[in-house]
Amino acid sequence: MKLSLCIHSHQPVGNFDFVLEKAYSDCYEPFLQLLEGHDRIRTGLHYSGPLLEWLEDAHPDFLDRLSTLCASGRVELLTSGYFEPVLVALDAAEAREQIAAFSNRIEGIGGKRPTGLWLTERVWEPSVPSLLHGTGVEYVVVDDSHVIAAGLEPTEVFRPCLTEDQGHPLRVLGSSMELRYSIPFREVRSVMDQLLEWDREGREMAFYGDDGEKFGVWPGTRELCYDRGWLDELFSALGASRELELRLPGESVREVRAVGPVYMPAMSYAEMGEWSLPCSRGRRLLELREHMGSLGIDPSVQGALASGGFWRNFLTRYPESNELHKLVSRASGPVAASASPSARLHLWRSQCNCAYWHGVFGGIYLPHLREALWKELYLAELDAHRELGDLPDLTEDDLDLDGRTEVRLLSASAAVTVRPEEGLCIGELALLCGAKGPVPLVPVLTRREESYHRDVGSAGHEEGVATIHSGMGSKEQSLEELIAFDDHRRFFLEEYLVADGGFDPSALRRAGRGLFPVFRTLPGNWSRTGGGDGGDPAFSASLDCPEGLTLAKSLGLHTRKDGLALTVDWEFRGPPGARIASELNLCLLTGSEPDRCIALGASDSVPVGLEGSGRCSRATVSDLWRGAVLTIELDREADMAHYPVESVNRSEGGYERVHQGFALVISEVLPKQGVLGMHALLTLTGAP
């Protein structure tokens, strides 16, 4: 039986250098060293663009060794989008451009033009064959559940499958779920027994394609694969086998007759089908699959019959992801028009998939990964618009395609998106003229329920090595007590009623804002003046609250060479004694460092990860690490409080607490007249 292997290694744009260095020493280097020492092992390899860039800079000898293996005929390198985007989430022409550029890069290392493509997160849509037409790609890697979902029997997926779209053919290799869950988590003898059983059954080939990080990065796998010799034992067993013939993936595609044509629905691997659904439906999907398992249905068939959602659902689950995705898509036009190579590279980096979604890894829950994509977007936009000479740029449109109008101002010094139909709040705020580059401050990730939250309280610390799709441990005790959910997005300058009349940062933090009725714009009752050739834009809106309060709110945006100034006017009307609040959510990446701090009035600065309160007319938020300062000045004293916004989420290392940002709440009680007016000046500049 022919056996083809394909190992995919990737690190996201924006990951910490020490994380990559550890992954290199624990995984990438020892894997390559073992591969070099087993001259009968032949495999496909895929290294993503972000990882290749890092390797070229930090360990250029690694790429030389890789080239040597390719020249010997033992390694086939696969292509992809350059910076590991989900291809179907891009404009088709832009996706082809990324593939062509990355194929050029791969050809320079491997000496041959790649014909295979590692499909990012195995996100398949029926249009993929047309998207890849003309790129030189002859086959892509998917999961076996993909082709089973097309109607094939499990025994038929042990060979390439042929599909097409609009007459453009494409072959697919379906990675065995059985092998994905066995390697490296079962004894080598068990893996070999399974392969030899398939050989005795007369199957012509088997294909295994999965993440390289499971050979050293995933918890416990460094010790298992290298210290205890699991991978060396597997390579030795495969090399010594007379029944198994190791073939490169491209060789198998050419030599083994394909089944087809088959037509696969839009889907990814089985686990993503669960993750991309709302958590209640994700749980039901797992229950359904468990029931199917009790009936003896093969796991890969379960994934095909009950595939769940697909990748684009994450753009619904996480509006912050959708907002970035749509702004990146819009930036493609100016970038293409500018013909700026640097703008194009920054735009491609902003399309790296990892921070757009969440599964078993942190993904969108990791602020440094989100920040990296926003920064790349801003760098792309600045390069492009400077080349075009059309800054500042003001756009009024449904920017995120949610059915509501947004207004975005992009200048050489700042970017801000106003959401007039959602309480005249701000969904995006960034300083672009800082000495250290763009500083994204908003959005802050809203805390949402995830299906695994019910398991956090019972999580312990597992011994041994298990697949990361099994039960997880917790990185600290009593994490379940920190779980809180927000019933609406965490915007900047969003007003609400503090329902219980109290004002305490701990209470605000625990409440998760779910108890607080929010002021929302009355339908069609907002206006804009200025902008474009008419000077700085200004907005006004009439808002109401379910508790019988009304708000007249005005917002002005004032561009400056050193940043941005915002003026805000509020006039609240309602029952005397009602406590109203305006909340400013900001992300400074961490809450524990002293150079990310807040000062209320004349008080000393404290890290934004702490709670605090006071009565004053001024607050100063300082991000001295990235180089940005926001000052808030009121025309009167008011109650102010701040508290950290923390999520409880999972990563490959277990359940963990992650600082998503902090909330500064400005609050006051309506006087006996039932009317309260307030004015604020907010100034965003670079740090001195």
pLDDT of residue 198: 95
pLDDT of 331 strictly over 90: yes
Which residue has 């009307």 as its token pair?
Answer: 573
pLDDT of residue 503: 81
Domain 2-260 sits in CATH at 3.20.110.20
Q: Do 363 and 357 form a contact (C-beta atoms < 8 A)?
A: yes
pLDDT of 465 strictly over 80: no
The C-alpha atoms of residue 55 and residue 686 are separated, in whole angstroms, by: 33
Which residues form the catalytic set? 121, 211
pLDDT of residue 459: 73
What's the Cα-to-Cα distance from 88 to each of 94, 151, 310, 675, rounded to whole Å? 10, 23, 12, 52
Topology of domain 451-460+476-685, per CATH? Beta-galactosidase; Chain A, domain 5 (2.70.98)
Listed in order, the ranges of the chain carrying CATH 2.70.98.10 are: 451-460+476-685
The C-alpha atoms of residue 434 and residue 442 are separated, in whole angstroms, by: 16
pLDDT by residue (tens digit) across 68-78?
999 999 999 99
The helix/strand/coil state of 421 is helix
pLDDT of residue 468: 52
Over residues 184-200, mean pLDDT:
96
- % pLDDT > 90, the chain: 80
Planar angle of CA 45, 47, 48, nearest 5 degrees:
145
Q: Where residue 460 falls among pLDDT bands split at 50, 70, 90?
A: low
pLDDT by residue (tens digit) across 265-309?
999 988 899 999 988 888 888 888 888 888 888 888 887 888 888
Over residues 657-671, mean pLDDT:
96
Q: Where residue 546 falls among pLDDT bands split at 50, 70, 90?
A: confident
pLDDT of residue 464: 45
Q: Where residue 471 falls among pLDDT bands split at 50, 70, 90?
A: low
477-483 CB contacts, 8 Å cutoff, 24+ apart = 479/648, 479/655, 479/656, 479/657, 480/453, 480/456, 480/648, 482/646, 482/648, 482/657, 483/453, 483/456, 483/648
pLDDT of 463 strictly over 50: no
pLDDT by residue (tens digit) across 596-615?
999 999 999 999 999 999 99
pLDDT by residue (tens digit) across 110-140?
999 999 999 999 999 999 999 999 999 999 9
What is the DSSP secondary structure assignment for residue 331, as one 8-state letter? H
- Residue with more model confidence, 143 or 457: 143
pLDDT of 320 strictly over 70: yes
R_g over Cα of the chain = 27
- Report helix angle 367-388 to 341-349, nearest 10: 160
The helix/strand/coil state of 355 is helix
The helix/strand/coil state of 45 is strand
The C-alpha atoms of residue 402 and residue 421 are separated, in whole angstroms, by: 11
3-state secondary structure 204-227: CEEEEEEEHHHHCCCCCHHHHHHH
Token output for 376:
């790349």
pLDDT of residue 511: 66
Q: 77: Cβ–Cβ under 8 A, 6 or more apart, which residues? A: 44, 45, 46, 47, 66, 70, 106, 109, 110, 112, 114
Instruction: Convert 213-229 to b/e letters by CB count within 10 Å (16 or more is b).
Output: bbbbbbbbbbebbbeee
The C-alpha atoms of residue 265 and residue 259 are separated, in whole angstroms, by: 17
- Residue with more model confidence, 186 or 654: 186
Q: Where residue 4 falls among pLDDT bands split at 50, 70, 90?
A: very high
pLDDT of residue 228: 97
The helix/strand/coil state of 556 is strand
pLDDT of 318 strictly over 50: yes
pLDDT of residue 395: 96
The C-alpha atoms of residue 550 and residue 542 are separated, in whole angstroms, by: 7
Q: 413: Cβ–Cβ under 8 A, 6 or more apart, which residues? A: 431, 432, 433, 559, 560, 561, 562, 563, 564
pLDDT of residue 300: 80
pLDDT of residue 462: 46
pLDDT of residue 516: 78
Mind giving me the DSSP string for 473-492? Answer: -BSSTTGGGG----SS---E
Task: Report the chain's mean pLDDT, rounded to a whole number.
Answer: 93
Q: Where residue 470 falls among pLDDT bands split at 50, 70, 90?
A: low
- Residue with more model confidence, 43 or 688: 43
Listed in order, the ranges of the chain carrying CATH 3.20.110.20 are: 2-260
pLDDT of 6 strictly over 90: yes
Which H or E run contains 569?
Answer: strand 563-573
pLDDT of residue 523: 86
Over residues 300-325, mean pLDDT:
91
pLDDT of 24 strictly over 90: yes
pLDDT of residue 155: 79
Token output for 493:
């300058």
